[in-house]
Amino acid sequence: MGDAVKGLALGDDPLKALPSDGYRGALAGRVWRPGLGPSVAAIREEGVFDISTACPTMSALAALPDPAKAVRSLPGERIGSLDDVLANTPPERRDSARPWLLAPVDLHVIKAAGVTFAVSMLERVIEERARGDASSAAAIRAEVTRLVGDDLSRLRPGSKEAMDLKAVLVAQGAWSQYLEVGIGPDAEIFTKAPTLSAVGTLMEAGVHPKSTWNNPEPEVVLVVTAEGRIVGASLGNDVNLRDFEGRSALLLSKAKDNNASCAIGPFVRFFDGSFSLDEVRRTTVTLTVEGEDGFRLEGSSSIARISRDPEDLVAQTVGANHQYPDGFVLFLGTMFAPTQDRDTPGMGFTHKSGDIVTIAAPELGTLVNRIRPSSECEPWTFGIGALMRNLAKRGLLDTAG
């Protein structure tokens, strides 16, 4: 733990960032190239290759008929080894004259599905009833479990059985807006963060400095085209402020969207013969939190236990009622909702500055971030306008998609 805390040491071993099958998958990312700017890159065993001449944005790459084939076959300029790029990514030891890794999405709108697992749904109900006060969560947890049980995973959202349960809970005065989106017909789909604001692996992830009850949310992130075609996946941390959202659901944007509060990476793995949506459905995402105080928390989230199929969530995001011309990425939600006490008994878990959060899945690799107050993370300064000016200067706008 010590070495990781001091320097986010994942960059010292590129194999730890990769999926368990190494370079077998069609892996792509984004790299900041000094003097040029953000560049789409193919991650290959021979190194990291800039393919921006053919695909200036990840959005354009994802929109191709066969993105995986393009990642494998497009000629490109070798930027360097994956080892070198990863090692130069942590902000505290970065050489600004050398390339470093970015979040692997650009023009995609960053969307997220909430309350898609029964376990985390109950925790949202508890937050709501506690009004953001962590000290009352344990007693409320026992009462909520008494009322609705501790396993709603067998209920299909929107089914007759789900609606029958709703009727009973309404009659008991126990209905909740979180139960509505958890077992009702309509999924919760929200905008997690602005386009281009996500941070990548080995970067600092932000928590609002006024939050005293918060947690990581380890998730699979789907990559989806404007037509609603799911073409790949990555890992994400949907950093959440339980106290803010618990006070009022209308504070969702404050709870979810802060500087550096959306982490995605390390790469996008595009679908091909080695990896498909079926593999996503069988994925288990693991999480480890290591604190400078010696605290350690472990958890996992199995997509097999999701209450809404990924295709259903995508269908509820894009269609005749809402379009995303440059595509979008979609956080699928998590069953992980930590209740392990960190300091005071009954107060549960919350982050401390310096925590190292490691999110991993065999098919997708490892995403690592250090937690800092959002006001102390690198400020977000490179937006859509800056990207367009950069691509125009490089003569790449004609092929940007």
Q: Give 323-345 as a DSSP string.
A: --TT-EEEE---S------SSST
Where residue 399 falls among pLDDT bands split at 50, 70, 90? low
Q: Is residue 401 part of a domain?
A: no
Domain C-terminal end among 183, 202, 233: 183
User: Cis before residue 216, ω within 30 degrees of 0?
Assistant: no
* One domain, residues 249 and 104: yes
Q: Is residue 214 part of a domain?
A: yes
Quick one: pLDDT at residue 151?
A: 60
* One domain, residues 251 and 131: no
In whole angstroms, give the CA distance from residue 289 to residue 371.
Answer: 10
Q: Residue 15 pLDDT more than 50?
A: yes
Q: Residue 386 pLDDT more than 90?
A: yes
Quick one: pLDDT at residue 326?
A: 98
Range of the domain at 298: 2-115+187-393
* One domain, residues 59 and 125: no
Domain C-terminal end among 183, 205, 226: 183
Domain harbouring 353, CATH code: 3.90.850.10
* One domain, residues 315 and 267: yes
Q: Residue 316 pLDDT more than 90?
A: yes
pLDDT tens for residues 257-302? 999 999 999 999 999 999 999 999 999 999 999 999 999 999 998 9
Q: Residue 12 pLDDT more than 60?
A: no
Quick one: pLDDT at residue 2?
A: 37
pLDDT tens for residues 325-352? 999 999 999 888 787 889 888 778 999 9
Q: Is residue 400 part of a domain?
A: no
Quick one: pLDDT at residue 394?
A: 97
CA–CA–CA angle 251, 252, 257 (5° rounding): 110
> pTM score, two decimals?
0.89
pLDDT tens for residues 85-107? 999 999 989 999 999 999 999 99
Number of domains present in the structure of the chain: 2
Q: Is residue 399 part of a domain?
A: no
Choice between 3 and 176, residue whose per-residue pLDDT is larger: 176
Q: Residue 245 pLDDT more than 70?
A: yes
* One domain, residues 260 and 370: yes
CB 112 within 8 A of CB 126: no
**What's the number of CA atoms in the CB half-sphere (13 Å) around residue 257?**
15
Q: Give 176-238 as a DSSP string.
A: -HHHHHHHSSS-EEEEEE-TT--B-TTEEEEE-TT-SSEE--EEEEEEE-TTS-EEEEEEEEE
Q: Residue 11 pLDDT more than 70?
A: no
Q: Is residue 398 part of a domain?
A: no
Domain C-terminal end among 165, 183, 201: 183
When the pLDDT of each residue in the chain is averaged and rounded to a whole number, the result is 90
Q: Is residue 210 part of a domain?
A: yes
Quick one: pLDDT at residue 4?
A: 41
Q: 6-25: buried (b, 16+ CB within 10 Å) or exposed (e) per residue?
A: ebbbbbeebebbbbeeeeeb
In whole angstroms, give the CA distance from residue 92 to residue 26.
Answer: 30
Q: Residue 7 pLDDT more than 60?
A: no
* One domain, residues 168 and 209: no
Closest to 257 (Cα-Cα) out of 195, 318, 177, 329: 195
* One domain, residues 204 and 219: yes
Phi, psi of 12 (to 5 degrees): -80, -15
237 DSSP β-pair partners: 218, 263
Q: Is residue 332 part of a domain?
A: yes
Q: What share of the chain in percent tops pLDDT 70?
A: 90
What's the average model confidence in pLDDT over 153-158? 74
* One domain, residues 47 and 76: yes
Quick one: pLDDT at residue 13?
A: 59
Quick one: pLDDT at residue 178?
A: 76
Quick one: pLDDT at residue 3?
A: 42
* One domain, residues 102 and 201: yes
CB 86 within 8 A of CB 132: no
What's the average model confidence in pLDDT over 369-382? 97
* One domain, residues 107 and 125: no
* One domain, residues 158 and 278: no
Q: Is residue 265 part of a domain?
A: yes
Tokens of 39: 């560049």
Q: Residue 20 pLDDT more than 50?
A: yes
Quick one: pLDDT at residue 217?
A: 94
* One domain, residues 48 and 70: yes
Choice between 247 and 3, residue whose per-residue pLDDT is larger: 247
